[in-house]
Amino acid sequence: MARERGLIRRGVLWLLLLGPLFFLSYGLTNSYTAGRDDIGSLVFGWERHMPLWPWTIIPYWSIDLLYGLSFLLPLTRREMDRHALALLTAQLISISCFLLWPLRFTFERPELSGLFGWLFDVLMGFDKPYNQAPSLHIALLVIIWAMFARHAQQRFWRWLVHGWMGLIGVSVLTTWQHHFIDLPTGALAGFVCLWLWPQQGPLPWQHAQLASDPKRWRLALRYGLGAMLLAVLAVKLEHVGLWLLWPAVSLLLVALNYGVLGAGGFQKGADGRLSIASSVLLAPYLLAAWANSRLWTRQHPQADEVCEGIYLGRMPGRGEAASFRAVVDLCAELPCTAIAGKPALVGAGLPAMAAAQAPAYYQHFPTLDLIAPDSHLLQQAAATIEHLRQHGPVLVCCALGYSRSASAVAAWLIISGRCSDASQAEMLIRKSRPGVVLHPAHHRVLRQLEALS
């Protein structure tokens, strides 16, 4: 992809804004916190055995250089601006947290000499031990790491990027700059920023609107209550219990998706992958959702042919997908790892793929779990199914293969004229896959399509 013109100047302008803002806000917050009498600390017992490795001040300092170099990598204005806005958001989140609940680093670092000692002296001339959780160093690292990893194409450079960035992450502990609690909270802040400013696709709130479906609000309330319960337990249990904040954030994000953001909040791309930010933030929920899909389909894992090479089934694994030429995916929350990276169908222009590669085509119509797809989406899915069946067997799937995907197959049967009405389509589907569940909401949408056919 060719680089857009004027990006170097744009990057310099962003640096001229972000650089002074960083030093001014960070320094003032440190100075203000130093005069407070409500500063706490949170230290695990095992941290007292953390070694001090003076040489790791080199990777620790290197993030400043990488911060500037990261603005040379974007290929488009959108990528540049979203990267800069993610860095700015990390700054705002961290500074706000430093003011709301100040923490202090409690270990006394011994005197160091030589180059490493001088670097520590320079650092401590600016950085006081008060701005701790979430670690702004780690939050910025997550964002910068994502940028460099995205543009490191060759294997050597990718391993170098991952190795050095990982070393920077470790260095915040081995330089005795942060306690452990600062790392996961800093990483959380960084991934939230990447989720707010994704590299591709619309912004999470770009198409946000309050859900009009009462069922979406009921599900949002359940997930929200689950998030609140886990957060309360995390605070009550302290220390190890703080890990419960991860699933709490995960459930809170799912609640937002149901109540406001919609299926796009999961950030599943046209290649079947979730964004790196969604994958990390939603990891506890995704693990539970995947386990649930396998549990419910353990006695019937295979897809079922409805008619004329159209199969209905669960989200396929790599071995399960090998029998199909194309996959039509109705699931918003689970990645389709079996085809991740395959080109999507765009209109009628199909990419030329080797016949040995199956499935060759993938199309995604994201739909929230337990929520009936709207008529427009089902019309698009039906048209795609009809088009892809010309190239071989097509798998239409969702998490279980019993509801969302079944409604898409029913829509295809109705619109293509293979069934005269929704009842006949449902009977045909149930004949091949008895466990299908279509709720009244699905029936209403299918009847709308029936009227249009």
- The tens-digit pLDDT sequence of the chain (453 residues) is 678 988 999 999 999 999 999 888 888 888 888 778 888 888 888 888 999 999 999 999 999 999 999 999 999 999 999 999 999 999 999 999 988 888 888 888 888 888 999 998 888 777 777 778 899 999 999 999 999 999 998 999 999 999 999 999 999 999 999 889 899 999 999 999 999 999 988 999 888 999 999 999 999 999 999 999 999 999 888 777 888 999 999 999 999 999 999 999 999 998 999 999 999 999 999 999 999 999 999 999 999 999 999 999 999 987 888 889 999 999 999 999 887 545 444 433 434 433 345 588 999 999 999 999 999 999 999 999 999 999 999 999 999 999 999 999 999 999 999 999 999 999 999 999 999 999 999 999 999 998 887
Please tell me the predicted confidence (pLDDT) of residue 267. 96
The one-letter code for the residue type at 57 is I
pLDDT value of residue 3: 85
pLDDT, position 357: 54
Q: Are 331 and 366 in contact (CB under 8 A)?
A: yes
Neighbour tally for 346: CB within 10 Å: 10
pLDDT (0 to 100) of residue 319? 82
Active-site positions? Answer: 398
Q: What pLDDT, on a 0 to 100 scale, did the predictor assign at position 358?
A: 55
In sequence order, the β-bridge partners of residue 344 are: 362
Please tell me the pTM assigned to this model: 0.90
CA atoms of 333 and 132, how far apart (whole Å): 33
Fold of 301-452: Protein-Tyrosine Phosphatase; Chain A (3.90.190)
Domain with CATH 3.90.190.10 in the chain: 301-452
